[in-house]
Structure formats: C-alpha cells, structure tokens
A and B are shown apart, each in its own frame.
Chain A
Amino acid sequence: MKHVVDNTWQPNASINNLFTRASIIATIRRFFSDRNILEVDTPSLSQATVPDVHIDSFQTTFFKPGVRTSKKELYLITSPEYHMKRLLVAGIGPIYQICHCFRNRELGPLHNPEFTMLEWYRPQYNIYQLMNEVNELIDKIIHCGIAEKISYQDVFIRHLNIDPLATPIKELKQIVKLLPGDSSNFINESYDTLLQLLLSHLVTSLVEFEKPIFIYNFPISQASLATINLDDERVAERFELYYQGVELANGFQELTDSIEHRRRFECDNNIRTIIGKNKQPIDNKFLTAIKQGLPRCSGVSLGVDRLIMIALKIKELRQVITFSIDRC
C-alpha cells in the first residue's frame, strides 16, 4: 500500500499570501485612523441572533460555573451589526471593526463558514457618501479607480429589458427559463429568489461586472435593515458592491424606526416558518436600543477575505485564509 502523508496540518494560504494579507489589513486600519474613525471590538458570542431567512447561525451552550442546571443558549455572530448599532445608540460616533463572523451552511469557492468582515458606520452619511468612501478604501488596496453606480432597476432594464419593480411574476419566470443553464426548477420560487438568480447570472456573465460597480436602491422586499427611499417607496436605501463578478460589500442607510424593525423581524420569522426553518428569538436588547434612538447613519460590511483574494488575483477564498473549515 502506498504511504500517504497527511498534509492537512499545513495552512491553506501560502506564506506570501499571508504577508500580503497582513499588509492589506494594516492599510485598512490606517485608512480609518486617518479619518478618525474609532476601532471597536464587540463580542463574537451573542445571546440572540439574526432572523434573516437565508442566514443560518451557529449555536452553542453556556454553562455557569458550578451551577449544573443553569445553562443559556448563545450564538456566534453572523455579523457585528447589532452590537455595533448598540454602541452607536450609546453615542460613540463613527466606528469600524474587523472581526470574524460565522455562518452555517455556507461553503464554496467564495464562502467559508468562518470569515473576516470589515464593518463600519458613519453617522449623518447617506448611501451615496458611504459608497464613495467604500470606493476610496478599495482603491487604496486594489487600485481599481472610480466605480460605476447603477440602480437595481436600471441593471435589469439595461441587460434583461425587464423592470424588477413592476414585471409580473409570470414574465419573470419566462426570463428565468431563457437563462443559459436551465433553471426551470426555480419557477415555483419567490419573486425575490428569481430576481436574485437573475442578478447573480448577470454579475458573473457580463463584462461590465469585471469593473467595480455599485448597485443601489434594492426592492423593499430585499430591504433587510435599510430605510425606505423617500421619493420612491418601492425601493430601499441599500447598495451592494461587485467587482470581478464577486459580491464585495453590502450597505444601508440604516433603518431607525423600532416598530418597523420589529415588523421586519416578525416577517422574516414568518417566512422561516413557511420554509421549515426555526423561528429565531427576537433580540430585545437590540430593539430596546433602537427604540432609544439610533442616530441617522449609514453602515456597510465588506468581505475582507474576498478583497484580499482580488488583490492577489486569486479565485478561491481558501488561498487567503490560514486554515479553512476542512483544516481548522
């Protein structure tokens, strides 16, 4: 029998890539300190988690010392968003954080269940000011120049000749059927899933998405925790940044209305029930903070591993991570 050497103790990333990684993260920290944005460090463990329909968190159990019967469910954060917003309510001002986030059921060339996120919040900013700041940051690292900005509606009209805010679902299904690569097994899915499927095909197949491009004004059904646009109530103040077919960042002008927060959480939980997932407990510490008054602000999260990957002209996340899930 052939003797097989077990190499899985070794890092996924080359030592060279890890040096580049360190220098990129140093550049990010300098970018924020030059702008007087405070670095914060919020917990990885949380007593509550997000109700997002398509985000699955890791759960663990905390036992108090000595007390056998007392235990508490805790979650690993899927993003530092709720903790950071509680700091904003407490009056901390502009903040950023580089931290590990954890999402179950995500694994692929661009996904590892544990990954590094850069998240920052700018009081008084709208999404356009924040998109510009995101652009300045990534230009310092990948020298990509000025990114294009296009609305969600215009992307669909320009490339598929359909209006994502007005097209009946019947017509949307016809378009999905015409995609390269048969997607007929999707036709019973929701309007938003069909839109997401179409957008992901555009992003990975069009040359236009080779350059950095911001897509903004997402349909309100995909608002997440973004505010509704004041002029067009069909869209939310949410943007995403794509570069070389990779989704790099997701930002909002943050929702400040606590009643609307609760409504969206319950709505997510209802959809979770319909598709057979557990309802998530509502994070009352977060909601109480929002009720106290989140300052008008915009915030964005950016995938650090993906940014490093692009800087190194690499196609796989595992090559910039020390030990990915199969080696950790």
Chain B
Amino acid sequence: MIYHPNDFYSGLKIIWDGEPYSIEYSEFVKPGKGQSFVRVKMRRLLTGQLIEKTFKTTDTAEKADILDLDMIYLYSDGTFWYFMNKNTFEQIAADIKAVGDNIRWLSNDIDYTVTLWNGKPIGVTPPNFVELTIISTNPPLKGDSIGSGNKLATLSTGAVIKVPYFFQEGEKVKVNTRSGEYVARVK
C-alpha cells in the first residue's frame, strides 16, 4: 500500500529510505503562492529516535509491515532474548539490537510489546510503569524516614535507579520505564 504525505496519520508506519518509521505528527503547510508540503515528526523504529522531516506532497511511502505483539519474556541464552505469544505460544528470539536499553526492565511476570518488522523483532517495549523488587541497596539512614534525599538501588532486573533513603532490600517499587525514575512504594 502506497501513502502520500497528505494521508499520513498519527500511528501510521511507513518505509522511508529503506527503514520503518512511525508517524507521530503531520501538518499540511502551504505558502500562499507556493508549493505545498507536509511537515512530519516520525519515530525511527530501529533506534527509537524522533526525527523531523519535510515531505513534498508528491512524495510517496510504502506502508511498513509492522506488527505489535503482546508477549511474555521467557529467558535469555546470552545471544537472544526469548519471548512467547500468550495466545499462540509461539516463541520469538530477539537480539540485543531489538531489546536495546530495555534489557534492564526484563522480568518474567511482565507483558511486553514486541515490534516485528517483516516478521523479525526490531523492538521490545515494556509497560510505562513496572513494579520490581529491590535486590541491593544501602541500609536506610537513621532519622531519614520522611524520605529527603535519594540513594541508588539495584532492582531484580538489573536496573539501577534512585530511590528514597528509607527503602530496604526486598521491598517493591513502582518505576517509570520511560524516564527510569522511581514513582512510588508498592505495599
């Protein structure tokens, strides 16, 4: 399927310069007496980077064969990270390029969105918020129970985040995976 920039909509996945992009914003621009064009913000799916791009209205882009699947994380053999489709039990092996920085949020009890391009995994996205256990941190400081100030804590997935001083090992925290920041204590 071929798309013209005037038909781009937020969420559409296209191929540009041989790579898949996800359209986030697109705006028709026309100088009064001049040629019209389309100003687009789109995410480069292979890197996650948001880029700006100006299209001519006569440019064309093919629709990208992109599939987002809800999957659970199984295990890693060090080369691949294995995910399973909860409905079909089909397994998929993602390499480190697909998993990327999100490797630090992988846990067996969380569902992930695995993005496939032409059937091959190119991205793994955790939920916005995950709840994880602290496996290592310094003991709480005495008299600092109201939580002024932060310290580093390592979570069960290997992620290192800043948490308030009062946390102890074995406690659970809610974390924002987009910013990598502590959100709340989980009781």
Residues of A at the B interface (CB closer than 8 Å) are 52-55, 105-111, 179-183, 185-186, 189, 192-193, 196-197, 199-200, 222, 224, 240, 247, 250
Contact = CB atoms under 8 A, between A and B. Distances in A.
Contact of A185 (B31, B33, B56): B56
A108 B29 contact: yes
Query: Which of B27, B54, B59 has the most C-beta atoms of chain A within 10 angstroms of its own C-beta?
Result: B54
B117 interface: no
A222 B54 CA distance: 22
Contacts of A105: 36, 57
A108 B51 contact: no
B56 A196 contact: no
Given A196-B34, A197-B37, A224-B33, A181 B53 contact: yes
A107 B31 contact: no
Nearest to A195: B34
Contact of A186 (B28, B52, B56): B56
B28 A199 contact: no
Contacts, number: 68
Query: Which of A192, A197, A240, A250 has the most C-beta atoms of chain B within 10 angstroms of its own C-beta?
Result: A197
5 contacts: A107-B28, A182-B52, A182-B54, A193-B35, A247-B31
B142 interface: no
Nearest to B54: A183
A54 B32 CA distance: 9
B54 A54 contact: no
B39 interface: yes
Interface of B: 6, 27-37, 39, 51-57, 59
B29 A185 contact: no
A71 B60 CA distance: 38
Nearest to A249: B32
A157 to B, nearest CB: 19
A108 B59 CA distance: 17
Contacts of B57: 105
B77 to A, nearest CB: 39
Nearest to A222: B33
A186 B39 CA distance: 13
Contacts of B54: 179, 181-183, 185-186, 197
Given A181-B52, A181-B54, A186-B56, A193 B34 contact: yes
Query: Which of A110, A181, A222 has the most C-beta atoms of chain B within 10 angstroms of its own C-beta?
Result: A181
B2 to A, nearest CB: 16
A111 B28 contact: yes
A109 B56 contact: no
A189 B32 contact: no
B29 A200 contact: yes
A124 B47 CA distance: 60
A111 B30 CA distance: 8
A250 B32 contact: yes
Contacts of B36: 54, 105-106
A250 B27 CA distance: 22
Contacts of B33: 52, 54-55, 222, 224, 250
A94 B37 CA distance: 36
Given A54-B35, A189-B35, 16 more contacts: A53-B35, A54-B30, A54-B33, A106-B36, A107-B6, A110-B29, A111-B28, A111-B30, A179-B54, A180-B52, A182-B51, A183-B53, A183-B54, A197-B54, A240-B32, A247-B31
Nearest to A54: B35
A152 to B, nearest CB: 12
Contacts of A186: 37, 54, 56
Q: Which 5 A-B pairs have the closest CB atoms?
A: A108-B28, A181-B52, A196-B34, A183-B54, A196-B31
Nearest to B29: A200
B57 to A, nearest CB: 8
Given A54-B35, A250-B33, A106 B28 contact: yes
